[in-house]
Amino acid sequence: MSETALLDGCSADYAPPAGSPSRDARPVLRERGQREVFCGLTGIIWLHRKMQDAFFLVVGSRTCAHLLQSAAGVMIFAEPRFATAIMEERDLAGMADAQEELDRVVTRLLERRPDIKTLFLVGSCPSEVIKLDLAKAAQRLGAQYMPRVRILNYTGSGIETTFTQGEDTCLAALVPVMPQAEPNADKQLLIVGSLPDIVEDQFLRLFAELGIQNVGVLPARNSRDLPSLGANTRYILAQPFLAETAMALEDRGAKRIDAMFPFGAEGTSDWLAAAAREFGVDEATIERVLAPGRERANKALGKLRGELAGKRISFLPDSQLEVPLARFLQNELGMELVEVGTPYLHRAHMARELAHFADDVRLSEGQHVERQLDRVRADKPDITVCGLGLANPLEGEGFTTKWAIELVFSPIHGFDQAADLAELFARPLRRRDRLEV
């Protein structure tokens, strides 16, 4: 019996394989307990840079402002396009009408920032708990400020969203305002999920070379340039955490292209090829267009394989990127997956990824952080991927770690970033070996 089998919660909570008898119907360790994760507000940190004419106003508490400052402050201290409307005692005690207060804050903000074209009112834990109706506020304020400013709302609250799910709820809020495509419009490809600009441009070049003309991206860099949407839209997810956005797109008739996620040579090839096939591109063209990038990626990865092959890795739940990244590290770099934890496992979107996992990979969903750390201590992986709150404490115990948030803040998708992605995992190991103090 393995050491972890003896640990509290490691064997008892194994859910029986659920649903379909497909290959990925492996057992999942489902846990409830302390979750050491960011809330969805954190997504604002990259979304406000991605959408250059949008402003994010969190309606929340001092804690929300402090979170954004602490999570973002270490990285960017320059003019942010986000702020917090901090609720105070008088807002809660009914001395001030919260909706009126919000109007006042929004008016002040829009007066000072005439460059804002889209304003997101972002719900937080306290605003959700007191049931402050931000949809109503967005509608009311929108009526006042349209067409100059479009006002939308979504929730980034911790009680409803985990970290990257904040992007999901934000993009889902954009779907209803995407223009309707003509019923007889040409088939259109929609790339869904915010990508670093350089990666987005690479993908757009590749799709152009593949001969796919009509390509839109969500979110668009300019939030007022939203692509149109309709029954002829085929969308492909560039990020693995967009369940709600996908549902909203399906509701408007768009159909998902099933593919692996574009991490590594294999994932990127599969992703591009799946889209190309959907658009009737012939195999020879696909091969011709993809081959150079794939070869470059493989060549660059070859240099890192020696450092990573055979190394054992555990993922603690963080961004929902865990499953596709684990697949990449296993398949293309020969790493051994010990535990792959994810805050939420979307079986349909992950099906093609999970099919690659070895049978003995421990898959966990949700979190009980204390038990999970017990498992890390028992498993003794070579590298542990975890949040910023846990990284230094684990290093203090002698574990090598990779902070997960860097995976969300770095260009890691596509052929030409495959080695950069691998490097993020190789560097902590190399550093550990190099330091003599």
Partner 1 sequence: MQLAVWTYEGPPHVGAMRVATAMKGLHYVLHAPQGDTYADLLFTMIERRGQRPPVTYTTFEARDLGKDTAQIFQDAAREAVTRFNPQAIIVGASCTAELIQDDPGGLAEAMGLSIPAIPLELPSYQRKEHWGAAETFYQIVRHLADKSVVREPREGRKARANILGPTALGFRHRDDLVEIRRILDTLGVEVNLVAPLGASPAEIARIGAADFNIVLYPEIADEASRWLEKNFAQPAVRTVPIGVGATRAFIAEVAELAGADPTPALGDTSSRMPWWSRSVDSTYLTGKRVFIFGDATHAAAAARIAREELGFEVCGLGCYNREFARVIRAEAAACGVEPLITDDHLVVEDAIAAACPELVLGTQMERHIAKRLGLPCAVISAPVHVQDFPARHSPQMGFEGANVIFDTWVHPLVMGLEEHLLTMFREDFEFADEHGASHLAAHSPKAVRAPALSEAPVADIPAPAAATAPAEGSLWTPEAERELKKIPFFVRGKARRNTEVYAAAEGIARIELETLYDAKAHYAR
The residues of the shown chain that bind partner 1, judged by CB under 8 A, are 33-42, 59, 61-63, 65-67, 69-71, 73-74, 77-80, 82-89, 91-92, 96, 98, 101-102, 104-105, 108-109, 112-113, 115, 125-126, 128-130, 157-160, 162, 370, 387-393, 395-396
Nearest to 301 by CA among 426, 433, 428: 426
Q: Which is nearer to partner 1, 153 or 202 (CB)?
A: 153
Q: Is 299 exposed, middle or buried (0-12, 13-18, 19+ CB in 10 A)?
A: exposed
Q: How far is the CB of 228 from partner 1 (least distance, A)?
A: 31
Q: Which long-range contacts (CB under 8 A, 24 or more apart) does 273-277 make?
A: 274/236, 275/189, 275/207, 275/210, 275/212, 275/234, 275/236, 276/210, 276/212
Q: How far is the CB of 93 from partner 1 (least distance, A)?
A: 9
Q: Which is nearer to partner 1, 294 or 371 (CB)?
A: 371
Q: Which is nearer to partner 1, 390 or 412 (CB)?
A: 390
Q: Which is nearer to partner 1, 124 or 417 (CB)?
A: 124
Q: Which is nearer to partner 1, 23 or 104 (CB)?
A: 104
Tell me the β-bridge partners of 339.
314, 362
Residues 354-388 as b/e (b if ≥16 CB within 10 A, e otherwise) read: bebbeeebbbbbbbbbebbbbbbeebebbbbbbbb
Q: How far is the CB of 130 from partner 1 (least distance, A)?
A: 6
Backbone φ and ψ for 177, nearest 5 degrees, come out as -100, 5
Residue 270, CB half-sphere, CA atoms under 13 Å: how many? 17
SS3 114: coil
Q: How far is the CB of 106 from partner 1 (least distance, A)?
A: 9
Chain position carrying tokens 């074209």: 117
Q: At what angle do helices 283-308 and 197-210 cross, to 10 degrees?
A: 140
Q: Which is nearer to partner 1, 59 or 206 (CB)?
A: 59
Sequence-distant (≥ 6) Cβ neighbours of residue 417 within 8 angstroms: 199, 410, 411
Q: Which is nearer to partner 1, 52 or 214 (CB)?
A: 52
Tell whether the torsion through CA atoms of 93, 94, 95 and 101 is positive or negative: positive
Q: How far is the CB of 232 from partner 1 (least distance, A)?
A: 36
Q: How far is the CB of 127 from partner 1 (least distance, A)?
A: 10
SS3 124: coil
CB 75 within 8 A of CB 69: no
Q: How far is the CB of 129 from partner 1 (least distance, A)?
A: 5
SS3 200: helix
Q: How far is the CB of 244 from partner 1 (least distance, A)?
A: 14
CB 238 within 8 A of CB 321: no
Chain position carrying tokens 């460059």: 115
Q: Which is nearer to partner 1, 68 or 249 (CB)?
A: 68
Q: Two tokens at 170?
A: 């934000």
Q: How far is the CB of 147 from partner 1 (least distance, A)?
A: 22
Backbone φ and ψ for 307, nearest 5 degrees, come out as -75, -30
Q: Which is nearer to partner 1, 40 or 262 (CB)?
A: 40
